Amino acid sequence: MSDFRFHVAIIMDGNGRWATRRGLPRVAGHKAGANAVRRTIEAAPGLGISVLTLYAFSEDNWSRPPREVSALMKLLGRYLVQETDRCIANGVRLQAIGRRDRLPAPLAGMLGEAERRTADGRRLLLRLAIDYSSRHAILDAARKASDNFTEDRFSSLIGPDVDLLIRTSGEQRLSDFLLWECAYAEMVFTPRLWPDFNSDDLAQAVAEFQRRERRFGAISATTDLRTA
């Protein structure tokens, strides 16, 4: 098992396209995507991932057809019911980020209960971004930090820096996801649709990340200064 500990964030994209290509309703893609979530969570600790943030439902997703939104809310609730005990058994702590005031009351209650029950998990911090907008999160953190506005204070309010950002389905944009936290993140974009994403895909992305040299604006010790 790897002892390398880092933060991976994933934009889980392509559920609808996966279903459409198979002649299935879009909700079938979301259900298949839930299986990919389980595979990813199970594989993450063994790859040295200590924090995993998954983009489950964006603020913009409210503009989707009401029937699809309702199905997504029910699917999220079902996932929490089915997976909370598994998270406890595997040392996974669940934390939701994003707004809760617009969520159905039963789902908001289930989120709080799952957070409470998994609070002792130390093997993996699983952050689910639900009704999430990075711009909103930044504004909210700025308001809270107004009396002591330093970069460290702001970062403590908004969340941990991302080391590796993965987006599935071939799209290459952040889509209002962890904009502050991804300031120095390495990015891997894969054409794989999210329901097909598996532990091998995650391992390949981590291997790609580990091959990269993260210089944070500096230069490599082996770089010739005449060509840097």
Q: Is-catalytic flag, 61?
A: yes
**Rounded Cα distance, 92 and 122, in Å:** 6
In our burial notation (b when 16+ CB lie closer than 10 A, e otherwise), range 137-154 reads bbeebeeebeeeeeeeeb
d(CA 83, CA 89): 10
DSSP 61: G
Catalytic residue (choose from 13, 131, 163, 201): 13
Annotated catalytic residue, options 3, 35, 60, 61: 61
Q: Quick one: which of 161, 212, 213 has its CA closest to 188?
A: 212
Q: Which amino acid belongs to residue 178?
A: L
* 13 classed as catalytic: yes
Residues with a known catalytic role: 13, 61
